[in-house]
Every structure is written in structure tokens, then in C-alpha cells.
A and B are shown apart, each in its own frame.
Chain A
Amino acid sequence: MSHIHINFEHVNYSYEKTVPILQDITFTAHENDSIGLIGANGVGKSTLLKLLVGLNPDYEGSIRVEEMPVVKEMLPKVREKIGYVFQDSDSQLFMSTVFEDVAFAPRNYGLPEEEVEKRVNHALKQIHIEHLRDKQIYKMSGGEKKMASIATILAMTPDIILMDEPSIALDPRNRRSLIHILNDFEHLKIIASHDLDMILETCSRVILMSGGCIVCDGDAKEILTNQELLEENGLELPFCLQKPVW
């Protein structure tokens, strides 16, 4: 078993003490795992991802990333390993041009400018948006912004990718492109999404959440073809498995 992994042990989290958001979350993720995090709205998928990068620090239990506890002192090291794509691209892109934004992380990690340039170009090439390199962020469409957001984390060359609703705002071609990128990424990735078709194509393992708990954790195909289980938890079969209504 590889050394890179994420370990959640009996994690509880709540914004207010009386309203638990996550309850007794326990799972382990290994290198090369591709995990789809699914569940109805408000079950705690985004919160779980944010716990992993220390954005919600006051949790109970234990969270470890590559054997490092996710605590305040370790956050810089933990965050170096993880690329996190926000649900809302406008929150992720804050510099004036795509180049400046994608270069933000490599520059922060003190890389020489030639390496920064190389990383940015490579990240843009990976997702086929080299033509957007010098484009002003405010001029971009929602789909372009999403792709640029993904480039910002690829430039960090992370060991782990976390994505919160990555296919939102993407047109079919960009969505297909994203699926290829995710399938090409060989390290651990966790994707929180309602796009079950994309999860089916990109993930080998699925964690189904409901009411802040993990309901089911197992093989993606088994879970995503289990109509009864999905419907019990506020979901439906992926579109590609549904019978056409016409």
C-alpha cells in the first residue's frame, strides 16, 4: 500500500454546537484512489473537503494527510500537497490575468521565475487553455474561469486533488476535457459532485453521504447503479443509466 493517504477517524464537525454538520466520519484514502463524494444538497460534502485543507479547523476526531495531522501548525505543509478547486471560480481567481493567477502558487512557494513560467505553461497546456494565458479574468466566461481555476492548482503539482463541483458551468466539450484531465491525473483525487455521470467516468470508489454521515463507501459502479440506495438518499441514477422517457 502506498504511503500517500488521507485518514479520517471519527471526525465530527459543527458550526454551532447544537447543529452537527458532519458526524463520525471515518475513512481512508490511498494514493491513486479516485473517490467521488456524492450526496444531496447540504449533506456536508463541501465541509468535508474544507476540513481536509484546514479551512474549518475546529473539528473533533483526527484527520491526517500523508501522516501529518491537519492542525494549524502543519497547515502550510499539508496545503502544499493538496490542490483544492472551489465551487465558485470567482473565489479562486483574484489576480488580473490567467497567467498571474496560475503563477500565484508557484511564486509563493519560492520557485525561480523560469520554473514558474514552465509550470504555468504546462498547467495551461494540460487543460488546453494556452490561448487564455494573458486573458483578463473578468472577460472570461464561466466555463473558461472554471478551467483556469483547475490550472491554478495543477501548477502546484499537488499529490492530492480536491474538487468541489468541478463540472458546474462547463459546456459539454470542456466537461469532456475535464474528465480526461481527471483520468490522466495519477494521484489521489476526491471529487464532490452531483454530476454522477462524471463521477462514474472518473472515480473507482464512491462515498455516499447523507445527513452529515457516510452512508456507503465502496465501488463506484456498485453504488451508482443501486437505484434504491441512491433514491433513499435524495439522488437518482446517473443519466446514462436512466431509461429514456420518450
Chain B
Amino acid sequence: MNKLGNALYEIHHMDMLAAKDQWVNRLHPLVKLVLTIVFLTVTMSFQKYDLTGLLRMGIYPIVLFIVGEISFCDSIRRLRIVLPLVCFVGLFNPIFDRQVIGYIGTVPLTAGMLSMVTLMIKGIYSVLAAYLLIATTSIEKICYALRLLHIPAILVTQVLLTYRYVTVLLEEANRMTQAYSLRAPNQKGVHFKVWGTLAGQLLLRSMDRANEVYESMTLRGYRGEFYYTAKEPCKAKDWLYLGVWLALFAVLKVTG
């Protein structure tokens, strides 16, 4: 499979994970979305030297990985491009903050090193929390939850359609590169002389396709408001799940 094919596969794989018939997948999307937001807020609120408190917050992604039966290794592999970028943000802390706060054996531990690690962990938690949300909740359900939070319809529709059109764009690009490679068997990749033509073609084709999808939506009653999924009330188990996690976050924050 080429790179574009792989990218498509990854997107479809996320859809497949979200469509699994698991207990955690069946929870109300609003509960999962609120918990993700609360988890991120609490995580970010920890002091920059509070490594212990931060590490204890790891219980949330760990539990979700287990109950959602999501492979940790696969997730890390999927996030391999984002995670280094997230880790990069704290890289200069040891240079600017050199106050020694302890020793590991004979190696001095500086405040900058500690804050770098906490910053990296915060970044990793954020990415994992977002990943776990989309791995257990379909994009339609996330959008439904966003609307329940009164996020404007136009913004939510943008989120949904961007997600859908990314695959449209990738599929078009995949078709074009496949057609190209079949007629240029001895070339590695696409020759730079045709980059412009291919990019132009891709833009035009994607616009055409996007227009057709939009036409199809309007023909079936679309008026600017997406009715994402069946309206479902929060059940007792959803409230219980939310309550338990909120209480735990409160305890972890207070005792951190």
C-alpha cells in the first residue's frame, strides 16, 4: 500500500474502532466529550514541577485503553508523527531553568528537566485523550455532543465535513497517483515536472466531488443543520461513569 493508501486505511481504521460494539463505545458521547475536556483542563492545571500528581492522572488513559480494548502499541505507532512534536515544546526548559533540585545517583536533576518532563507528559496526555475520544466515539456522535454543548452549528458542520472531505481528497489523490505510477513504472514517486498539473487536477477533482456530495446532501433535505445521530438521553450508567471520573479527578487534583 502506498502512503496515501495507508493514510486512508488509518482514517478508516479509526472509524472502525469507533464503530465497535464495546461498553465504552456505547456510552453517551456528551459524557465522553465532557470527560475529555475536564481531563485536559485538570491535567493542564498541574504545576510545572508536579510530576507525581501528573503521573497519577495517567489512570484515565490507561483505563480507557483497557476497557476500550484499544491497542496501546498501535496507538503509539499511529501517533508517531504528532508525539515528537508535542515533546519538542519542552526541549529548551533544561537550558533556561538550571536550578538543581536533586540528584539521581550522581546526576544532578534540574528544575528545567523536571518541567520539561511534565510538559511532555501533559502534551502526551492531551494527544492520547483526544485519540481515545475519537477511537471510542464516531465523528457523528462527537458532533452531536458538540451541538448539545451549544457549539454553533456552522462550526460543528465544518468539523464533520472536514473529516469527511479529507477522505474524499485522499481518495482522489490516491487514484491519481495510482494511475500515474501504472504509466510510469520505472519512477520512484511523482516527477517534480508534473507536481503542478497533479496538484491542480487534484484541486479541481476534489472540488467537483465535494460539490456533488453537497448536492446530494441538499437533495435529501440538508438546510445547514446536520442531524448527526439518533437523539439519545443520558442514562443512569452514563451519569454514573461521569460522576465516578469527576470525583476521581477532583481527588487526584486536591491530593496532588
Q: List A residues at the B interface (Cβ < 8 Å).
A: 53, 55, 75-76, 79-80, 82, 84, 86, 88, 90-92, 94-97, 100, 103-105, 107-109, 113, 116-117, 134, 136, 138-139, 152-153, 156
Contact = CB atoms under 8 A, between A and B. Distances in A.
Given A80-B221, A108-B227, A134-B19, A95 B140 contact: yes
Interface residues of B, number: 27
A153 to B, nearest CB: 8
A82 B218 CA distance: 12
Interface string B225-250: 00101110000000000000000000
A109 B221 contact: yes
Given A94-B213, A134-B19, A100 B220 contact: no
Contacts of A113: 230-231
B12 to A, nearest CB: 5
B19 A79 contact: no
29 contacts: A53-B219, A55-B215, A79-B220, A82-B219, A88-B212, A90-B209, A91-B209, A91-B212, A91-B213, A94-B164, A95-B140, A96-B139, A97-B19, A104-B220, A104-B222, A105-B221, A108-B223, A108-B227, A109-B221, A113-B231, A116-B230, A117-B230, A134-B19, A136-B19, A138-B12, A138-B15, A139-B12, A152-B220, A153-B220
Contact of A100 (B212, B216, B229, B231): B229
A156 B218 CA distance: 13
B79 interface: no
B203 interface: no
A76 B216 contact: no
Contacts of B222: 104, 108
Nearest to B8: A138
Nearest to A106: B221
A84 B19 contact: no
